[in-house]
Amino acid sequence: MKNKVRELRVKHYLAQGQLAEAMGVSRQTINSIENERYTPSLPLALALARYFGVTVEEMFDDQG
């Protein structure tokens, strides 16, 4: 699923490992989400959106 995780992570000067640690997942999971190979669960999507202070709709685009 298209998303802005990488864009927001870079904007916040975070490495994938730092974001992964904050979310309680592996670095590879963050990488897979950014590369649109893995669609996160609703709790993880909500946690990511909350972490960056955006809505889930702003972060994920299911129309893309």
DSSP count for the chain of H helices, then E strands: 5, 2
- Residue numbers 9-48 binding another protein by CB under 8 A: 24-26, 28-29, 32, 38, 40-41, 44
In whole angstroms, give the CA distance from residue 33 to residue 6: 9
**Residue 51 touches another protein, criterion: CB under 8 A:** no
In whole angstroms, give the CA distance from residue 27 to residue 62: 23
Q: Nearer Cβ to another protein, position 32 or 54?
A: 32
Tell me which residues touch another protein (CB under 8 A).
Answer: 24-26, 28-29, 32, 38, 40-41, 44
